[in-house]
Structure 1
Amino acid sequence: MQLLEAKLHKIDRHNYRSYSSLRGEYQFVDFDFFIDTTQADPFAPASRVRARRKWSLTDLEWLKDQSADYQRAARDFIARQFADLAQQINEIQIDRPGQAILDRTAVVFDEEAIELRFRINLPADGRTIIAKKTTNLLTYTMPKVIRRATIARELPLDEMKRHCETVEDQVALRSQLKEKGLMAFVADESILPRLAGNSDLPMPDAVPFVSPENLAVTLEAPHKGTLRGMGVPLGITMIVGGGFHGKSTLLNAIENSVYDHIPGDGRDYIVTDDTASKIRAEDGRCVHKVDLTPYISNLPMGKDTSSFSTQNASGSTSQASWLQESLEAGAQSLLIDEDTSASNFMIRDERMQSLIAKSDEPITPLVDRISLLRDQLNISVLLVMGGSGDYLDVADTVIQMHNYEAVDVTAKAREVVKSHPTRRQLEGSEEIRRPRTRKINRSALQTMLEDGKFRIQVKDKTSLRFGREFIDLQALEQVADPSQLHAVGWLWFQLAQGKGWEKNPSKAFQQMLHDDWFKMMPNYGDLAKPRVVEVMAVLNRMRAADFK
């Protein structure tokens, strides 16, 4: 600490850039402090720092004996405590978690210590260093926050244990889905609605969810015990009902439960197949060498759709591409909301079939392919549907949402099918195949980084800057946190270090995302582990990406 004070005294009243001389390691009485980067001016991104405190000084060594999921939750909890303690200190910032409990790098455990990774805005008067203020920040204010966030007697341990046990429960519930033949599980008493369109907090006084008796299952959680709730079976499930009755609300809760949630979130006992991918129409996006033949063929001018590329996809083309890309990335479940889908991709009714001959229509709608996805590829699909009853012919389960209450209307739906048989004609072949694995050009990624001065930047969940390109990600509804996108960019950076073509990008990213995935990353505190489905979804939207 004395060395840091001496350096600060030496650069007092110097130009702001003199802060760069502080980079390095400093030993405090009870922790080691590292200044990894310093900002070039007061308006640049804050300086990156780390603090390592030995386990023996924290009384938290017992955490090392807990499961990996328990430790992930404990790291998340400590990051939240640090954020709360630093809330009134404008100069200190940590990557603050939201409602989801992700595998973050803001707090890292290793054999020797707890490591905190955060940012500090180094003080200045204009562009002049004020050493006294900086010394007070780094040697008095900051150490208090570090010590209080990493010592047992200052932490609400009962609350932390509940936080961690809730995560272990969710992981255990999710692990039981496949053996129970389920895509998802929604526990009774869950709170599905959110506070507002721009808030992920639970809505106060919302109607608690209760499973229909016919769909009720029980799962075992190691801490919570036996839980009753609605099981969403594998296969094809429709969510139907009138407008404003909670169809999309149920789907949104399920799509976001590929991740674990904090206690009290309302979704803390909802779990979903962690490969589930929500797809939608996305006009104007790019598509790279995707095989669209199961859904789109016989285009005008004889354009080939077995390796289709465009920089301006239509709604139907973009949704078909997203479906194929999701399967290529390993998705076993698809989530679809009619409201955000291309109508001509979803259905072609009897009257339109009569007006436009199949030979003149390139699109084979999903309604004619969905049962093949289930039967031949073992892909489950959960659909929110309010306008097309033709999907009742292929649905295995039909759930009606009425006043935010779920009702199993599968039997009634089958009666409707019998009394009102469809008159539309089945279109498309009787076979379907998985999309071929595309290769990605590593050298193209490296060139983009070099041309863009190696910038990997994220401001929110809607875009990622990689090198010279800004990638529009507004359609990716399952990204839980901007830090996941930051990690996506650094995963690409790692891939770009190789030469030539990567034959199986999804597999390569899966191997990178092992338990110690962050060790190959920079020592940044604003990274969070993404799913392979998201890594590939973002890559597919990079306009300059080179696939074959």
Structure 2
Amino acid sequence: MNTAQDLKEILRRIEGRPYPAYKDTRGTYAFGPFLLSIDHVQGDPFAAPSDVSVLVKDSGFPAEILRTRQTRIAAEDRILRFFGQALHRQSRPGKGSGKSGKLSVTRPGQEILERTSCHLYEDGSVRVRFNIGFPANGRRILARELERILFVTLPTVVNESLIYKNYTPKMKEELQETWQLAMDQTAIRDQLKVLDLAAFVADGSILPRESGVSQKPMQEAVAFAAPESLAVEVETPFRGRIRGLGIRKGVTLIAGGGYHGKSTLLEALERGVYDHIAGDGRELVITDETAVKSRAEDGRSVQDVNISGFITNLPNGKDTVAFSTEDASGSTSQAAGLAEAIEAGTKTLLMDEDTSAANFMIRDNLMQEVVHGDQEPIIPFMDRVRELYEKDGISTILVAGSSGAFFSKADTVIQMDQYVPLDITEKAKNAAKAYVFREKENLQPFDCRSVRIPHRVKESERSKVRSRGMDTISVDRQDIDMRYVEQLVDPEQLAAIGQLLKLANREIVDDSRTLTEVVDVLEDRMNAGALDETVRGHGARPRKQEILAAFNRQRFQKITPDRKQQTADKLE
């Protein structure tokens, strides 16, 4: 094991030399209470900063933060925030060119995600990964400046944020509140199944956000309060009994005027598949963890997806049992997205009429009178929504502000009135009796089962994976458009998905495993150990649904139907 003194000697030896000499520093060094690992050294001062990590073996964190996987992840999130705060306090403007002296670490958002940047191990040790811009004057090494960072700044940051006995009383209280909140969130999530709920929104929740570019809660917003007829109570280990809106499984419609909070409620439910930090306002908004937001996505690629439950008899004779296109329309893209969500195992669909294809959702009586059903290949979602729940157990939560067509299909109708939810189910049902919406005739039973097999892609030896913000994953210079996968909440999730796609292609895809089986293997690997054993660099764990969404949107890997399964289905 190298010592801190060994590193100091290397730095003094390379002072003033050309920048590539920094590569001599790679390795692990013992710094008393922690180990410093210099994992990757940037090629020049203008490149992405170097990858560095610290491992504290005797961190002293209380054992209760490791009670469950959820408490561990929540504690890691809080510790990472403490590390970032300490890094910010101790940092000072770097000397030199390019990214010289820049210290950075992952900055988590409002959601709590498992990350490669921080991991707590069963033996009580903790590792944090971060970045340092190795200093230079032009392209000459400023080793003394790096020595100051590593031997003065970094030990202070580690002592303040990664060694529990050095925590202030406030920090200890925040850490305790963090893992206790995680246990309460888990308790509510477990009770969704017991109470037959698709989602729960606690009274007092603050759903509106600060702005269109901020996920922080809006100040002085109306606190959520469930109507008595839809209220349920859940038991939690630390907050006790909590009252809130219980959205029951089935078909739920969210109605109301514009700007009254319909989409705000739906967005909170979309993000309710993740736990949130204390003070977010949505920390007790809990949604079925398999829930998927469905929307139209014009122009996307679709590969051999069974959309026949929604679209049949296309005029060009195109197959809809194994439908493929490089340029999907609004209706075909939404049909494909729903079929893919079902393939991914969703039990709750989240939809907003504003982002849905109008002709996919409903055909009114006048349109049916003018254009006969035999001339329309689309089976509107309205004609399938009840069957989806009654036959397949898939619930739907739909925002509708312009059409009351779904009133007759809904089990529950909630009106948002100035951000206050009202139960108008009986009123809506009675009003709907005066209107008869004709359904498509001679409907076949719903079936959108897709069992597909991905095929291995030949990669170049220097294949690279990159992500750009929340929009794009690039694998070997082939872009995957992720703009409309709305339940991705952090750029590091896209970075992780890119690496998982590459890992799957190299080690798991074998031309016999189905797409869901491939992703299940990826999930097993991520569950087996620390996330950074599967995902390198800075990454945040995505859900199974979003990994599958990336597979389904790429245009360079062939995915074909499982012919054996198709034959078995026909024999049934």
Quickly name the TM-score band, shorter chain normalised.
over 0.9
What do the CA deviations read for 1:282-316 (whole angstroms, capped 9, x no partner)?
A: 11111111011111111122111111111111111
Counterparts of 2:12 and 2:532 in 1: how far apart (Å)? 36
Identity %, equivalent residues: 40
| Structure 1 counterpart of 2:432 | 417
Structure 1 residue runs of 5 or longer lacking an equivalent are none
Moved more, 463-472 or 74-83: 463-472
| Structure 2 counterpart of 1:464 | 473
| Structure 2 counterpart of 1:487 | 496
Contact 2:307/2:323 (8 A) holds in 1: yes
Contact 1:377/1:434 (8 A) holds in 2: no
| Structure 2 counterpart of 1:309 | 324
Contact 1:185/1:230 (8 A) holds in 2: yes
What is the DSSP-based 3-state SS (H/G/I as helix, E as strand, rest coil) of the residue aligned with 1:86?
Answer: helix
- Superposed CA RMSD: 1.6
Counterparts of 2:9 and 2:556 in 1: how far apart (Å)? 49
> TM-score, length-normalised on structure 2?
0.91
Counterparts of 2:385 and 2:355 in 1: how far apart (Å)? 18
> Which of 518, 533, 537 is the aligned partner of 1:508?
518
Counterparts of 2:460 and 2:154 in 1: how far apart (Å)? 36
Counterparts of 2:515 and 2:484 in 1: how far apart (Å)? 22
Contact 1:345/1:364 (8 A) holds in 2: yes
The list of structure 1 runs, each at least 4 consecutive aligned residues, that deviate by more than 6 angstroms after superposition, is none
Counterparts of 1:403 and 1:297 in 2: how far apart (Å)? 41
> Which of 3, 7, 14 is the aligned partner of 1:11?
14
> Which of 270, 294, 303 is the aligned partner of 1:288?
303
The AA in structure 1 aligned to 2:52 is V
Indicate how the Cα distance of structure 1 residues 45 and 426 shifts in structure 2: closer, same or farther if over 3 A, else same: same
State the Cα distance separating 1:234 from its structure 2 match: 0.2
| Structure 1 counterpart of 2:34 | 31
| Structure 1 counterpart of 2:97 | none
Contact 1:513/1:529 (8 A) holds in 2: no
Indicate how the Cα distance of structure 1 residues 84 and 38 shifts in structure 2: closer, same or farther if over 3 A, else same: same
What do the CA deviations read for 1:328-351 (whole angstroms, capped 9, x no partner)?
A: 011111000000011000011111
Moved more, 119-128 or 407-416: 119-128
Moved more, 272-281 or 424-433: 424-433
Counterparts of 1:407 and 1:310 in 2: how far apart (Å)? 43
Q: Does 1:299 align with 2:314?
A: yes
| Structure 2 counterpart of 1:2 | 5
| Structure 2 counterpart of 1:96 | 107
> Which of 450, 464, 474 is the aligned partner of 2:460?
450
Counterparts of 2:439 and 2:269 in 1: how far apart (Å)? 33
The AA in structure 1 aligned to 2:546 is E
State the Cα distance separating 1:503 from its structure 2 match: 2.3
The AA in structure 1 aligned to 2:299 is G
| Structure 1 counterpart of 2:566 | none
Alignment of 1:127-146 (within 5 A): 127-146=139-158
Counterparts of 1:228 and 1:427 in 2: how far apart (Å)? 44
Q: Does 1:338 align with 2:350?
A: no
Indicate how the Cα distance of structure 1 residues 407 and 428 shifts in structure 2: closer, same or farther if over 3 A, else same: farther
Counterparts of 2:442 and 2:198 in 1: how far apart (Å)? 27
The AA in structure 2 aligned to 1:301 is N
State the Cα distance separating 1:178 from its structure 2 match: 1.3
Indicate how the Cα distance of structure 1 residues 243 and 427 shifts in structure 2: closer, same or farther if over 3 A, else same: farther
State the Cα distance separating 1:508 from its structure 2 match: 3.0
Alignment of 1:351-500 (within 5 A): 351-418=366-433, 420-427=434-441, 429-441=443-455, 443-444=456-457, 447=458, 449-450=459-460, 453-498=462-507, 500=510
State the Cα distance separating 1:450 from its structure 2 match: 2.0
The AA in structure 2 aligned to 1:91 is K
Counterparts of 1:167 and 1:254 in 2: how far apart (Å)? 18
Contact 1:117/1:524 (8 A) holds in 2: no
Counterparts of 1:10 and 1:522 in 2: how far apart (Å)? 36
What do the CA deviations read for 1:395-442 (whole angstroms, capped 9, x no partner)?
A: 111000011100000011111122x2224343461511241211111x
Counterparts of 1:122 and 1:323 in 2: how far apart (Å)? 48
Moved more, 101-110 or 251-260: 101-110
The AA in structure 2 aligned to 1:474 is R
Counterparts of 1:66 and 1:327 in 2: how far apart (Å)? 33
What is the DSSP-based 3-state SS (H/G/I as helix, E as strand, rest coil) of the residue aligned with 1:399?
Answer: strand
State the Cα distance separating 1:512 from its structure 2 match: 2.7
State the Cα distance separating 1:33 from its structure 2 match: 0.9
The AA in structure 2 aligned to 1:509 is V
Counterparts of 2:184 and 2:442 in 1: how far apart (Å)? 44
Counterparts of 2:30 and 2:152 in 1: how far apart (Å)? 14
Alignment of 1:179-328 (within 5 A): 179-328=194-343
Counterparts of 1:545 and 1:222 in 2: how far apart (Å)? 47
